[in-house]
Amino acid sequence: MITQQRKLVTELPGPISKSLAQRRLAAVSSAVSGGSDIYVAGAEGAILLDVDGNQIIDFGSGIGVTSVGHSDPRVVAAVTEQAASFGHTCFMVNPYENYIGLCEKLAEVTPGDFEKRSVLLNSGAEAVENAVKIARSYTGRQAVVVFDHAYHGRTNLTMAMTAKVSPYKDGFGPFAPEIYRVGMAYPYRWPTGPENCAEEAFARWVESACVWRVAPSSLMAESLIVVTSSRSASMAAPTAFSMPRLRLSGLAPCVSYVRRKTSFGN
């Protein structure tokens, strides 16, 4: 059992972590960036135990994934039960009940009284890519509008959709076409004050997206990526600047919601 307290028995990083860092340089591609040279041997709750015996608080949480903590007994029991039953079959090849059950749970907890269906994917970027594919196929339209300051992923399409160039996009082009960027409603820094943000931002959004940048007949969806926890900070839009309002305007006939890094994983 790992006690839920910070405890240091060596300098950080310790000698064993330092040796692992040297092995990493020789064996692991530099394309895999690293935020720390402290190597983990175990974890429980909010505490990481490193290979040198130090206990540190896990503020990273796998970039916001381990929301119930490490080695939660219920999670361990569920994983153990599944591993003893069967591993990977690919739901498209040999389906199983758990996939259906999770989709049913997602429909239950998702707000709204409309029909809901889900597809389960491996990562946030894959979810965004598939949201765009589904929306394009459904609407027959190609253009994608994204917000300034948004982070969407590191595949070619999601890099094109991501606003920040460095470190996400620099040197990796050319990128996918038909991506149009507009400003985000940001009450905290809105020039005329937060009380005017929703109305003014929405008017600016309509003019920018559908007058100057892309024809409404080509606009397939406004794709909002709700980043609950990632390397990029999130910005909360005012309630009036909402996806239902975009639908009612007729400018976003198919709105794709993708929530990254939820308690279900990516």
Summarised one tens digit per residue, pLDDT across range 115-154 is 999 999 988 899 989 988 888 888 888 888 888 888 888 9
Dihedrals phi, psi of 30, to nearest 5 degrees: -70, -10
Q: Is residue 177 part of a domain?
A: yes
CB 38 within 8 A of CB 50: yes
Tell me the pLDDT of the chain averaged across its residues: 81
Q: Is residue 2 part of a domain?
A: no
- Domain span at residue 32 reads 15-66
Residues 141 and 240 in one domain: yes
Alpha helices in the chain (DSSP H): 15-27, 61-64, 73-85, 97-109, 124-139, 156-161, 197-207, 243-249
Q: Residue 204 has what pLDDT?
A: 78
Domain boundary among 50, 66, 82: 66
SS3 250: coil
CATH number of the domain bearing residue 251: 3.40.640.10
Q: Is residue 166 part of a domain?
A: yes
C-alpha 9, offset from chain centre: 35
Q: Is residue 37 part of a domain?
A: yes
Whole-angstrom Cα distance, residue 143 to residue 180? 7
CB 153 within 8 A of CB 123: yes
Residues 39 and 129 in one domain: no
Q: In total, how many domains does the chain have?
A: 2
Q: Is residue 233 part of a domain?
A: yes
pLDDT in tens, 25-63: 999 998 888 889 999 999 999 999 999 999 999 998 888
Q: Name the least confident of 84-98, 143-157, 183-197, 244-258.
A: 244-258
Whole-angstrom Cα distance, residue 93 to residue 95? 6
What is the average per-residue pLDDT within 164-184? 86
Predicted structure pTM score: 0.73
Residues 126 and 251 in one domain: yes
Q: Is residue 181 part of a domain?
A: yes
79: left (phi over 0), alpha (psi -120 to 50) or beta: alpha
